[in-house]
Amino acid sequence: MADLIRLLPDHVANQIAAGEVVQRPASAVKELLENSVDAGATRIVLVVKDGGRSLIQVTDDGRGMSAMDARACFERHATSKIREADDLSALRTKGFRGEALASIAAIAQVELWTREPEQELGIRVLIEGSRVRTQEAMATAVGTTIAVRNLFFNVPARRQFLKSDSVELKHVLDEFHRIALAHPEIAFQLVHNEQEEYNIPVGSERQRIVHLFGRKYDERLVPVEENTDFVSVTGFVGKPEFAKRSRGEQYFFVNRRFIRSNYLEHAVRKAYDELVSRESFPSWFLFIDIDPAQIDINIHPTKTEIKFRDDRAVYAIVHAAVRRALGRFNIVPSLDFEPEPAILAAFAQQQAATSPPREPVPAWRPHDLGAFQAPPRPNVAGWQQLFDLGGTVPTPAPEAPRPTEEPRVIPWREHEGIPGERPVFQLHGTYIIAQLRSGFMVVDQQRAHERILYERNLKLIQLGAGLSQAELFPRHIELSASDFALVQDVMPELRSMGFDLEPFGGRTMQVNGMPAEAAEEDPTRLLEGLLEQLKHERGTLRNERHAILARGMAHSMAIRPGRVLSTPEMHDLIDRLFACEMPYHTPTGKPTLITYGLDDLNERFER
């Protein structure tokens, strides 16, 4: 029987490899730009025609190549980046596999000009389908230029799978953005069909983002900086109010290499919990610097996948860095609460008559109040006291949290008949309309109550001091084996919120008491809803589990649309909302209120 196994010819092997490395014009763009970066370039020019099908040309002012290297670089597994396997654990360059140029040359017509600084003449190499057609000395600038023409000219089936020029150009732009973002110390230029698309000077990371995505991004960015002995995280995240309904500017870079990671994306998205809805996508540009020995980038030829030796530590640090950045820079929007002069005068007179003189304090800002602080209780509407009074009126000390109080919306009788109290009214049993100096705001009463209850529940879990209302007749809930185990696992948190539960034999739980504010709720429905959220979200950290329980309880217990509120109840709801740590969004990121300015009204009335 004849032997069946034989070595493939080099040009066939190169075409097979090209299928992994070069999937479309953008793949070639990525490889060529990365080679220019590794060559120490300070300026890189990318020229593209017809979305990259007809021409991809990259010119850099890097160190160039010798005549020998200019020929050898097109051989398979020929690389200047590593010498032995141990070098992979200290890798800082973009390329290292020695496959890119060989793969590109196998499926395109490639022309190379290059010169080293110490040489008077450079070298020109013309290669087509892995076969060298020309190699000659010639005058050329220091650095390297590579022109790739007629991509997939010898693989017509592959060429037919390319999309329209506009779609292929979009993929080229994506790769250009990734390389340009990772290296703000390099100037970049992009020309498509003889039209200049970008001409970006050297600058900072923030300047690079603005140059690529527009001036509007300058005000949307929140800086991130977290340095540890293990890993450092720097860069920027977008303010929540600018989150989009579709994916866009989400970038991770590890040691200045763009990567994709669902795991790290989850860490960032968790940091935005309570700030954006799950259907929205905030922007981020995060640069992770870590010892190369702690990662493995040699997973796929495109080198966009990565493995961390301690992925949980990286996850925790990235999550904490983003969360801290969002909190530190107070990314919530501000409201105009400055009262009319007449109201200010009336309030100041009443305050002077009822309070001893104190030192002036700075104007109030929404984030000055911590979570679960009870609203101040002078004899004026609580939220009116939160107005910017120019630092002339003292801020009463907030009351300590009182977990023993029955936590519900209680009318404040002292609100009645207060001079200067702002008008509020309810719309369709769902919204509360309140006047602002420059317009008005609309509060969603259910969402506002949900935010209030969420922060209260979270604090109760932390303090372990929830109130329980005993059941006249204990009820029994039959659970599945997994749900029964889960209830036992979260029993301390459930008791902290006011559940009085105990095993009753088998997989049955006996309900002796319910949270005071949920006394009228069906315990089976409420408990099963909480368990479903826990199973769905699978919080791996204890504080995440606390947030899931607090969020589920708040959603179940919040007042529903159609509930009619009295004027004192409406004032109280707004009081308690603005005593929250994050009053502007529900725990799932949906807005609790929106504002309308007088300018909007004037425009509608054509004033």
pLDDT (tens digit per residue) in 419-462: 346 789 999 999 999 988 788 899 999 999 999 989 888 888 87
Question: Lowest mean pLDDT: which of 184-198, 203-217, 362-376?
Answer: 362-376
**pTM score, whole prediction:** 0.61
Helices (H), 87-196: 100-106, 156-160, 165-182
- Residue 126's nearest CA partner among 185, 198, 70 is 70
Question: Lowest mean pLDDT: which of 52-56, 130-134, 502-506?
Answer: 502-506
Q: How much is the pLDDT for 23?
A: 87
Cα Rg, the chain, nearest whole Å: 32
* Encoded amino acid at 20, one letter: E
Angle, alpha carbons 7-13-19 (nearest 5°): 150
State how far the Cα of 579 lies from the Cα of 386, in Å rounded to an integer: 9
**Is the confidence at residue 172, as pLDDT, over 90?**
yes
If one compares 459 and 60, the residue with the highest pLDDT of the two is 60
State how far the Cα of 570 lies from the Cα of 70, in Å rounded to an integer: 76
**Is the confidence at residue 602, as pLDDT, over 90?**
no
Q: How far is CA 451 from CA 248, 291, 408, in A?
A: 29, 41, 13
Q: What band does 502 get if pLDDT is binned at 50, 70 and 90?
A: confident
| Phi, psi of 77, deg, nearest 5 | 60, 25
In percent, how much of the chain has pLDDT > 70?
74
**Is the confidence at residue 75, as pLDDT, over 90?**
no
If one compares 389 and 485, the residue with the highest pLDDT of the two is 485
**Is the confidence at residue 190, as pLDDT, over 60?**
yes
CB 343 within 8 A of CB 420: yes
pLDDT (tens digit per residue) in 119-171: 999 999 999 988 899 999 999 999 999 999 999 988 888 888 898 898 899 89
The three-state secondary structure class of 144 is strand
Average pLDDT of the residues of the chain = 78
Q: Please, what are the domains in the chain? A: 10-203 (3.30.565.10), 207-328 (3.30.230.10), 341-448+562-604 (3.30.1540.20), 463-539 (3.30.1370.100)
**Is the confidence at residue 340, as pLDDT, over 50?**
no
pLDDT (tens digit per residue) in 227-252: 999 999 999 999 988 888 778 789 99
If one compares 408 and 46, the residue with the highest pLDDT of the two is 46
**Is the confidence at residue 15, as pLDDT, over 90?**
no
CB under 8 Å to 17, separation ≥6 — which residues?
76, 99, 102, 103, 106, 301
